[in-house]
Amino acid sequence: MKRLRVTHVVLVLLCLMYFITYLDRVNVSTAAAGFAKDFSLNKTQIGLVFSAFAYPYLVFQIIGGWISDRFGARRTLIACGIVWASATVLTGMAGGLTSMLLARILLGFGEGATFPAATTAMSRWVPKGKRGYAQGITHAAARIGNAVAPAVIVLIMTTYGWRASFYVCAAISFLWVALWALTFTEFPKDHPRVTAPELDSLPPPPISASGVPWRRLFKRMTPVTIVYFCYGWTLWLFLSWIPQYFLHSQHLDLKQSALFASGVFFAGVLGDTLGGIVTDRILKRSGDLQRARSSMVSVCMFLSMLSLVPLMFTHTQGMSLLLLSSGFFFSEMTIGPMWAVPMDIAPDHSGTASGIMNSGSALAAIVSPVVAGYLIDRTGNWQLPFVGSMVLMGVGVLLAYRMRPDRKFE
């Protein structure tokens, strides 16, 4: 029987982490049907719960990226995992709006450094020509977490109550921390099972990131960060409100709304996977990073925007499902090329660079759910929040060409 390569084991572990973090992150949007009733919360307050974790998450993007570059992905992700798992337990123990907000803020502290740290690990454990695929497949695992969460959380809620759903997620998180600590080594050469052919396929160890040229790196990553904010607005609108959209706008029951939401999120799984494959294939055939990353992001954002436009004019269940799924699919196809860009631009500071980029999405996570909740409370129109997605996707279409992944940061 052929032995599984160590590089594949590392990628599987990272996929599991992405799956778990998004399961922990979005279970609250489905559980809201339970705790909102118990705590008597309106839509704006629910939006605050959705976005609370994003405040420390935003702060720790850049700090966490620097920490992972400086001290390694192994120790960073062990510490992160313990914190986010503990926060998930405390969410299940919440007794009202204040304690729920505090638990979600702690979750943001725990998860803030996870994706930049994972990018640091990938920069050492993934061949250069497979970076888009690695980022696409790990984010696809995150979208599987999105797709699975509504159905699983509803099943647990209807049997044991909404609090039990957080305890189950916390147990899975603690288990992953143990697996990561026992399996991962910071550098491939230190792993006892790595083979010589695997080492030859991997990039050389990066230089120390202790002297990060912060001002120049911020300036270089600014266009990338803005584009990722445009993407992140749609992402967090979908993750926070899609289960509630089908429950209230389409007047479905809890189980039906979970099924419809899972269908939308599963389209994201396909988009993430395909996006990673396509960007690497374009790069292999053309050797042109600008075409493989920037052009692909621009085209996919345009198609996502185009998919959402008819949502303003048709409100049937089937068409809403189709349009939202299409919009999310093309939006998620940008993930593979976008997360490869920090490694293309600044391979020696990939954790820090990806943290700067992901701060755009973290900022969107703060604003998007609350704005959506406010609009719904004031107007009762569940389609109105998607107008913001269409506008920002249009901005991203134009700005994507300013990212210039073909110009390496020196």
Identify the pLDDT of residue 277: 92
Using CB atoms within 10 Å of the CB of residue 403, give its burial: 0 to 12 exposed, 13 to 18 middle, 19+ buried: buried
Range of the domain at 258: 6-187+194-202+212-402
SS3 410: coil
DSSP state of 4: P
User: Residue 51 falls within a domain, yes or no?
Assistant: yes
Would you say residue 408 lies in a domain? Answer: no
Classify residue 26: in a domain, yes or no: yes
Tell me if 207 is assigned to some domain: no
Residues 6+ apart with CB under 8 A from 332: 139, 143, 267, 268, 269, 270, 271, 272, 275
CA-to-CA separations, 385 to 46, 234, 314, 391, in angstroms, rounded = 15, 9, 15, 11
The angle, 0 to 180 degrees and rounded to 10, between the axes of the packed helices 114-125 and 73-92 is: 150
346 Rama class: left (phi>0) / alpha (psi -120 to 50) / beta: beta
CATH of the domain at 274: 1.20.1250.20
Q: Within 10 A of 177 (CB to CB), how many other CB atoms are there?
A: 20
Q: Is residue 407 part of a domain?
A: no
What pLDDT tens digit does each residue of the chain (410 aa) get? 346 788 889 999 999 999 998 887 778 877 887 888 888 888 788 888 888 888 888 888 888 888 888 888 999 999 999 999 999 999 999 988 999 999 999 998 898 889 889 988 988 888 877 888 888 888 888 888 877 777 788 888 888 888 998 999 999 999 999 999 999 998 888 888 888 888 888 877 665 545 778 889 999 999 999 999 999 999 988 887 887 777 767 667 767 777 788 888 889 889 999 999 999 999 989 989 999 999 999 999 999 999 999 988 877 788 888 899 999 999 999 998 999 999 889 888 888 898 899 899 989 988 888 888 888 888 877 788 888 889 999 999 999 999 999 888 87
Whole-angstrom distance, CA of residue 87 vs CA of residue 206: 33
Identify whether the C-beta of residue 352 lies closer than 8 Å to the C-beta of residue 60: no
Is the Cβ–Cβ distance between 60 and 113 less than 8 Å?
A: yes
Residue 349 belongs to a domain: yes
Instruction: Give per-residue burial for 33-66: e unless 16+ CB within 10 Å, then b.
Output: bbbbeebebebbbbbbbbbbbbbbbbebbbebbb
**Do the Cβ atoms of 157 and 31 come closer than 8 Å?**
yes
Residue at 1 is within a domain: no
Q: Is residue 347 part of a domain?
A: yes
Q: How many domains does the chain have?
A: 1
pLDDT given at position 3 = 61
Q: Which helix (H) or strand (E) holds 198?
A: helix 196-201
